[in-house]
Structure 1
């Protein structure tokens, strides 16, 4: 086995795809382009306690409340932007503000093109729009609405869409 050197993973090698299908029949995961920020925060929930026989506190992670902060320059004819803007501008709530997002790690690509991927349902939480003078900028966050599902994804030849495959159960 050849000794492989470690290589740094570029931020551009972790990309996101949103299901833009509004009919609910066949998911269409389209690449989330034009974003200037997509920072994932795990927001762990901790259980902390001090035992009488110990000098220091014990800490355990007992859950997560993931959120991804976003910012994007609004573009026309961009289905992902249209979905978010519809929620944002229309002040939609409940199930009308939910989207499925697949995060794909390109740096895990196998010879058959399959990449490690994670899918989760998020609530779109709008924050601001109109910041800046050069472009119409939308900001907000995607907050988790479901557990994470780990599967695989294959990108289309042009990289604009992805096909997500859920894990198979034994």
Structure 2
């Protein structure tokens, strides 16, 4: 009889996010989103609910999603992710100039070849506030979905400071 692995709790630090900080015409460069105090994912499902005349209970179906990520970070200089987000926020940029690509990586799924399950999506940066706090300059806002989710996996050659995203299943 094979021994089963005991379940282990997943630490929050094992789900990390990476933002493409490259110029629009350049190759992708996904850098780790460091110094964030909040990165909270909300699915925001869209429901279709109705009650049929011959039934006592209401019926609901999920018919869509409007994913968003609430964020806040302590502003650090010389940090490409902070620089990109602060430029959008401080410059009150509009439209496609607010779009960022984010890869979310589940480090707890790392296999023997150092590959982890990951998803990629384009988000619009919705700035909310800056200047909160007295110890650090704090920026906050929401990333709102601007594309479909792309499933794949990530690899890293620098201990998960940057990643390469590959669409599709992890090869056997």
**Equivalent residue for 2:4?**
3
Distance 1:160 1:114 in 2: 14
Is 1:58 the equivalent of 2:59?
A: yes
| Residue correspondence of structure 1 range 89-100 to structure 2 within 5 A | 89-100=90-101
Query: Which 4+ runs in 1 deviate beyond 4 A?
Result: none
Distance 2:19 2:9 in 1: 26
1:166 Cα deviation from its structure 2 partner: 1.0
Is 1:13 the equivalent of 2:34?
A: no
| Residue correspondence of structure 1 range 36-51 to structure 2 within 5 A | 36-51=37-52
- Give 5+ residue unaligned stretches, structure 1: none
- Secondary structure, in 3 states, of the residue corresponding to 1:86? helix
- Give 5+ residue unaligned stretches, structure 2: none
After superposition, what is the alpha-carbon deviation per residue over 1:92-128, rounded to whole angstroms, capped at 9, x for unaligned? 0111000000000001101001100000000000000
How many residues end up aligned between the 2 structures? Answer: 168
Distance 1:29 1:69 in 2: 19
After superposition, what is the alpha-carbon deviation per residue over 1:4-37, rounded to whole angstroms, capped at 9, x for unaligned? 0000000000000000001432100000000000
Distance 1:156 1:106 in 2: 14
**Equivalent residue for 1:146?**
147
TM-score, normalised by the number of residues in structure 2: 0.95
**Equivalent residue for 2:76?**
75
After superposition, what is the alpha-carbon deviation per residue over 1:49-90, rounded to whole angstroms, capped at 9, x for unaligned? 000011010000000000000000000000000010000000
Distance 2:120 2:108 in 1: 17
